[in-house]
Amino acid sequence: MTPTRKKRLILASLIVGGVTLSVAFMLMALQENLNHFYSPTQVVAGEPPDGRPFRLGGLVEDGSISREDDGLTVHFVVTDTAEKVPVIFTGILPDLFREGQGVIAQGKLEQGTVFRADEVLAKHDENYMPPEVADAISTAQGTGVPMTHPGAGI
């Protein structure tokens, strides 16, 4: 093997090795850190795996918001019009959080029944419905037609 070829071989194997390694780590990281979305119906049916964080989405049920005396801990119920899941969140809620609004909460189930949220997302548009929530509601209602509001995005 000529010296030039040897050098090229080293260089090429370094690159191939590096790329393979990075792709492997990338896929591993992707697999480990996927954040699945579940609707209240799926949560009640016990679909989310135990103890792992996931995203819960639906509408904030009318009349379900109550606050503890610390002013920060909020209890509310998320529904897809078929099933309901109670949620606890401590902290400051986004501006558009209100009854009837579509929200997505990130967190874990506690004792299999109450969802403890670390983060609650509501978009900055009163007419915006998170697509996951829209799908969940239409599935729960059995219409099968996703109700979505395209054209958001800034």
Count of positions (residues) in the chain: 154
Question: Are 48 and 109 spatial neighbours (Cβ–Cβ below 8 Å)?
Answer: yes
User: What does the alpha-carbon distance between residue 90 and residue 99 come to, in Å, rounded to a whole number?
Assistant: 17
CB of 10 to another protein, least distance (A): 6
CB of 152 to another protein, least distance (A): 5
Distance of CA 144 to the CA centre of its chain: 21
Q: Which residue has the tokens 């191939």?
A: 16
Residues that bind another protein (CB under 8 A): 4, 7, 10-11, 15, 18-19, 22, 25-26, 28-30, 32-37, 55, 67, 70-72, 90-93, 95-96, 124-126, 131-132, 134-135, 146, 148-154
Q: Which is nearer to another protein, 112 or 151 (CB)?
A: 151
User: What does the alpha-carbon distance between residue 106 and residue 133 come to, in Å, rounded to a whole number?
Assistant: 13
CB of 29 to another protein, least distance (A): 5
- Residue 8 φ/ψ, nearest 5 degrees: -60, -40
83, two tokens: 């099933």
CB of 123 to another protein, least distance (A): 10
User: What does the alpha-carbon distance between residue 73 and residue 96 come to, in Å, rounded to a whole number?
Assistant: 17
* CA 28, 32, 34, 39 torsion-angle sign: positive
CB of 69 to another protein, least distance (A): 9
